[in-house]
């Protein structure tokens, strides 16, 4: 399976945020998007996730499972916000997303306790999500990537609010996902600790 991005450009309001971005990502490959604040990293990821309309160009899948119209259906998107409800317990949150998202063809998610253990927070999934610290909340949002299988992970600043240990742990998760034939597209300031990642440097436009 390959993700093709062809001469993509996006606009927010009147301003062109980026212009003519193309890349190809095959299974087992990662793309790290870097660049200064406001250079359009998040916008690019939201276009890839199908949340924003591209001004021109297109995003498509080659050799993907049949019946998939847009790569977003095979993607996890972890944005700045964690998409977890503070009032519900971590277990309720995770099991909701597990059931709501379901698995993409070609894999299956791991169970809740194993996912919590994978992010180093085993044993606290009975707590309400709002009780956790910011770093723990972020880690639990990553556990969401594991409970339902999606081949493509689109991650926007995944390691914000995380300590160095969690950075390493997260690099391990990403490496594991790539090994199993996944794809990762991440916007980040820090290095993700992924060895053979492609990089895309966003420069933005001078105003």
Partner 1 sequence: MIALFFRDLKLSVRAGGGAMIGVLFFMTVVSVIPFGVGPDLNLLARIGAAILWIGALLASLLGLDRLFQGEREDGSLDLMLMHETPLVLTVFVKCAAHWAATGLPLVVASPFLGLFMNMDELAIGATMLTLLAGTPAITFIGAVGAAVAVALPRGGLLVSILVLPLAIPVLIFGVSAVYAAIEDPAPFLPPFMILMAITLFFAVIGPVAAAAALRHSAD
Could you tell me the smallest distance in angstroms from the CB atom of residue 197 to partner 1?
A: 23
Could you tell me the smallest distance in angstroms from the CB atom of residue 205 to partner 1?
A: 19
Cβ proximity to partner 1, 63 vs 69, nearer residue: 69
Residue 194: Cβ within 10 Å count: 18
Cβ proximity to partner 1, 31 vs 154, nearer residue: 154
Could you tell me the smallest distance in angstroms from the CB atom of residue 164 to partner 1?
A: 25
Could you tell me the smallest distance in angstroms from the CB atom of residue 74 to partner 1?
A: 9
Q: How far apart are CA 7 and CA 29, in angstroms?
A: 20
CB-based contact 185:27 (threshold 8 Å): no
State both tokens at 181.
């034939």
Residues facing 152 on adjacent strands: 75, 183
State both tokens at 70.
């847009």
Query: Which residues are CB-contacts of 27 (< 8 A; sequence separation ≥ 6)?
Result: 1, 2, 151, 181, 182, 183
Cβ proximity to partner 1, 28 vs 79, nearer residue: 79
* CB < 8 Å & 24+ apart, contacts of 98-102: 98/147, 98/148, 101/148, 101/150, 102/148
Could you tell me the smallest distance in angstroms from the CB atom of residue 99 to partner 1?
A: 4
Cβ proximity to partner 1, 127 vs 175, nearer residue: 127
Residue 71: name the closest of 5, 22, 148, 164 by CA: 5
Cβ proximity to partner 1, 100 vs 126, nearer residue: 100
Residues that bind partner 1 (CB under 8 A): 12, 46, 49-52, 68-69, 72-73, 75, 77, 79-88, 92, 95-97, 99-101
Q: How far apart are CA 200 and CA 135, in angstroms?
A: 27
Q: What is the DSSP letter of 89?
A: B
Could you tell me the smallest distance in angstroms from the CB atom of residue 53 to partner 1?
A: 8
Cβ proximity to partner 1, 39 vs 104, nearer residue: 104
CB-based contact 162:192 (threshold 8 Å): no
């Amino acid at each position: 399976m390959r993700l093709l991005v062809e001469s993509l450009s996006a606009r927010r309001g009147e301003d062109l945020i980026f212009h003519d971005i193309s890349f190809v990502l095959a299974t087992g490959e990662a793309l790290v998007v870097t660049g200064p604040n406001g250079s359009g990293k998040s916008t690019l990821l939201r276009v890839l996730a199908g949340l924003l309309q591209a001004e021109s160009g297109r995003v498509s899948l080659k050799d993907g499972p049949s019946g998939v119209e847009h790569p977003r259906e095979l993607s996890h998107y972890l944005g700045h916000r964690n998409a977890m409800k503070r009032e519900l317990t971590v277990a309720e949150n995770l099991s909701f997303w597990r059931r709501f998202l379901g698995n993409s063809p070609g894999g299956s998610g791991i169970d809740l306790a194993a996912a919590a253990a994978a992010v180093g927070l085993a044993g606290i999934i009975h707590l309400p999500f709002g009780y956790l610290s910011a770093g723990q909340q972020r880690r639990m949002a990553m556990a969401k990537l594991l409970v339902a299988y999606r081949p493509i992970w689109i991650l926007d600043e995944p390691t914000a609010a995380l300590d160095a240990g969690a950075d390493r742990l997260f690099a391990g998760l990403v490496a594991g996902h790539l090994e199993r034939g996944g794809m990762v597209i991440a916007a980040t300031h820090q290095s993700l600790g992924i060895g053979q990642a492609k990089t895309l440097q966003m420069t933005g436009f001078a105003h």
